[in-house]
Amino acid sequence: MNTTVPYILITIGALLILAMLAYATRRSGRPERITPLTGLAFAFVLAGIMFGDDRLIGYGLMGVGVVLALIDIVKKSRGPVG
């Protein structure tokens, strides 16, 4: 058995748990739109996965994506300014 199989199974399990939590806590009504900062964070994480062969570049891009996502979360939790 390949050593990456357990990691893939753990990842799939974590994604299933997240999907169930998202479904259970879903609010009725119109869903929220994705902000540009969220899209940019997602793009950086995907770029980090694609350039994962070079660890420094891959982890760097993923780190930038996570930091941008955290900034977006903090901005959304504070609510509208004004």
Residue 71 has pLDDT above 90, yes or no: yes
Mean pLDDT score, 2-30: 78
* pLDDT of 1: 57
Q: What is the pLDDT of residues 28-59, one digit of tens each?
A: 666 678 889 999 999 998 998 888 888 899 89
CA 19/CA 26 separation, integer angstroms: 10
Residue 48 tokens read as 């980090």
Residue 25 has pLDDT above 80, yes or no: no
Residue 22 has pLDDT above 70, yes or no: yes
Q: Are 41 and 72 in contact (CB under 8 A)?
A: yes
* pLDDT of 81: 64
Contacts of 64 (CB under 8 A, 6+ apart): 44, 48
Radius of gyration for the alpha carbons in the chain, expressed in angstroms and rounded: 16
